[in-house]
Structure 1
Amino acid sequence: MPKQKHEALQIQFGEHIQKIRLKKGLSLRSVAANCELDDSNISKIENGKFNVQLSTIVELAKGLGVEKRELLEF
């Protein structure tokens, strides 16, 4: 996959994560407290600056209180 498409997906994914978090009224710290991720890494994900692994998706879902599949519906 070309680098630009890869970066565009990261940005779209991050925007989707942020939208879910804000819709639920959660802070970065509260999401981090509910999973095994640092709030600075969650911020990087939301800003499209972090390429997530499957294990990160699992942790994000736990922290946001949503099903894993919901994170990929963007």
Structure 2
Amino acid sequence: MQKEEIADLQIRFGVHLRKIREDKGLSLREVADRCDLDNSNISKIENGQFNIQLSKIFELAKGLGVSAKDLLDF
């Protein structure tokens, strides 16, 4: 994959993650607490500035009460 393709995926994933979080009425802090992640990292993910690891996707899914598939369906 080219850098541009990776950056596009990061942005699309982040936009989708933010929508799920907001639809559930959760703040960055609430998600961070549920996932044992720093809220600044979640913000970076939502803004496409952070290439998230697969294990973190599963942590986020658990914290949001959705499946990993739901997070990746963008």
TM-score (norm 2): 0.96
Residue 10 of structure 1, CA deviation: 0.2
Q: Percent identity?
A: 65
1:17-36 map, 5 Å: 17-36=17-36
Residue 57 of structure 2 is matched in structure 1 by 57
**Consecutive unaligned residues in structure 1, runs of 5 or more:** none
The whole-number CA distance in structure 2 between the counterparts of 1:55 and 1:36 is 12
Residue 40 of structure 1 is matched in structure 2 by 40
Number of residue pairs aligned between Structure 1 and Structure 2: 74
TM-score (norm 1): 0.96
Residue 6 of structure 1, CA deviation: 0.7
Residue 63 of structure 1, CA deviation: 1.6
Q: Which protein has the bigger helix share?
A: 2
After the TM superposition, list the runs of 4 or more consecutive aligned residues in structure 1 that deviate by more than 4 angstroms: none
Residue 5 of structure 1, CA deviation: 0.8
The whole-number CA distance in structure 2 between the counterparts of 1:58 and 1:13 is 13
Residue 48 of structure 1, CA deviation: 0.1
Structure 2 counterpart of 1:6, which letter?
A: I
RMSD (Å), alpha carbons: 0.6
Residue 70 of structure 1 is matched in structure 2 by 70
**Consecutive unaligned residues in structure 2, runs of 5 or more:** none
